[in-house]
Structure 1
């Protein structure tokens, strides 16, 4: 499952990818069952809305900032929110590990964020939100191709269905214009998330999730800074775009990570991963209801195919 910061939690294990959630001691006292019963669905709903909003925020802010400047703000703000966790765990981050952290940050944060931001400049927000759901399937594919993990017949079929969904999405149009380039950018971003998660699981599973998220986001912000500087918008940026960029970094990339990880600690990764199904739904609905962007039949069909393939693959677990 991918969070809005570009980090993923595999529903089948306890490794959190470098940019999702927080902290709190797992031994913290759990709430009474009656409280937990109503709180969990509300938190899942809230996370689905927050990560759905991330695509709306990109759609508003990316045309004003450009992809490089917007992603730089997102990375820097997200890393700042999580920085206290890195400081507390600084002894576990010797210098020899930072090149690996930087490389993973590029694959798992900077490049996917750039692709989604570029797509948001050229197509409705729903396109990126729907593509993001493919991360679950791409993670299984990368683990199979490069790390020797079994994929199974069900997941193989699910991948084929998901790819059909991407093709359907890419062949559609919005306002008479092709959304193909944006759809393929979103699919590539999801593939990079899958690669990044596999690397996190292999090289960073011994590190605290919130601290490792801060490190990879911070490295990405430093590496992207020269490009962001040279591509900084010349014209004044409207206040609304600044607000969306701030919310994208602080809320969708930093705070949501903390909430998601705490949710995993309380209810487990499999149940927490159900938020995967909410993000495309809210991304599409918010795009339609707030921005007035059309919901086309190709988007709806692609959403059904992709989310259906994810559900089908997870039934095998």
Structure 2
């Protein structure tokens, strides 16, 4: 792996892991819907500016319906659900639960293609369920109805991400990733506009909350997606998706260091189970068979002069 690729991979993991920290800070003040609206609107405008410079602006006239569906699946719904969940659970736990996205992606793909998962993939799903059970049942938080609803919201967000990933492959296979991300975030902002007006911020945000939202939008969302698309270009989708293993690690680190969130033995243990499950269910390309050289054509046998007609 090139040094630049390794740095970008760490950057995406750190930025996306930090998004859970910023949501944990801003959601109780602004409310999940208003905070998400500010996040996707700022990110969409920033990506649109970059796309204009690179001439990768999305074609809204042609693809507006697709962008609305993608914006709902990949941004509006999951971002809001995670923000709701973080009203009850820690940023660390939310980040780890989000790592179950590939497990849901396996299920969605299997249903869509009517293909039975392999033995390792089934084992991965079972291990992932066990890992979530360890995180919830043996974690540092008190398990009650609200906490279980928050965990359910986090897992539902992961399901939306999985559905969005499948939809992207179907609807936008040839669209530039920067244009797709721009359309996705601006469409999500349009979807959340009416709910934001109906559910205004709970409090007047101070400077710290405003900075958290700006960092969430510009760094974690806009810059994070830009670096991810760069990785896809340089390493391919399989290599870029290895960031899945880094996001919960950084989420756990940032939550523990900056928010002083409680850390028990069950969190690293449960996270290891979830990450191992992700490894089992993630498709890895098989090495291409080496071409077999065609046998050289045998030289014609010499015919003695006496045998020639």
Deviations 1:117-156 (A, max 9, x none): 0111111101111011111121121011123455322112
Distance 1:63 1:107 in 2: 23
Alignment check: 8 A CA contact 2:89 2:150 kept: yes
Q: 1:200 to 1:175 in 2, by over 3 A?
A: closer
1:151 aligns with 2:117: yes
**Residues paired across the two proteins, number:** 281
Shift of 1:79: 0.7
- Look up the match of 2:48: 83
Shift of 1:173: 4.7
TM-score w.r.t. length of structure 2: 0.85
Q: 1:263 to 1:94 in 2, by over 3 A?
A: closer
Distance 2:167 2:46 in 1: 23
- Look up the match of 1:195: 163
- Look up the match of 2:193: 225
1:293 aligns with 2:258: no
Q: 1:305 aligns with which of 273, 290, 295?
A: 273
Alignment check: 8 A CA contact 1:155 1:316 kept: no
Q: Report the RMSD for the aligned CA atoms in angstroms.
A: 2.0
Deviations 1:195-239 (A, max 9, x none): 111111111112111101111211110110111122222532121
- Look up the match of 2:72: 106
- Look up the match of 2:131: 165
Deviations 1:69-98 (A, max 9, x none): 1100111011112114655345x7263531
- Look up the match of 2:292: none
> Which structure's CA Rg is the greater one?
2
Structure 2 unmatched ranges of 5 or more:
286-309
TM-score w.r.t. length of structure 1: 0.82
- Correspondence list, 1:1-317, <5 A: 37-84=2-49, 87=52, 88-90=55-57, 93=59, 95-149=61-115, 151-176=117-142, 178=144, 179-314=147-282, 317=285
Q: 1:94 to 1:82 in 2, by over 3 A?
A: closer
Alignment check: 8 A CA contact 2:39 2:213 kept: yes
Shift of 1:177: 5.3
Distance 1:215 1:282 in 2: 28
Q: Helix, strand or coil: the match of 2:86?
A: helix
Alignment check: 8 A CA contact 2:29 2:202 kept: no
Q: Helix, strand or coil: the match of 2:173?
A: coil
Distance 1:183 1:126 in 2: 12
Q: 1:166 to 1:98 in 2, by over 3 A?
A: same
Distance 1:84 1:201 in 2: 25
Shift of 1:261: 1.0
Q: 1:311 to 1:275 in 2, by over 3 A?
A: same
More displaced 10-residue stretch of structure 1: 65-74 or 176-185: 176-185
Distance 1:191 1:139 in 2: 7
Structure 1 unmatched ranges of 5 or more:
1-35
Report runs of 4+ in structure 1 exceeding 6 Å deviation.
Answer: none
Distance 1:89 1:150 in 2: 38
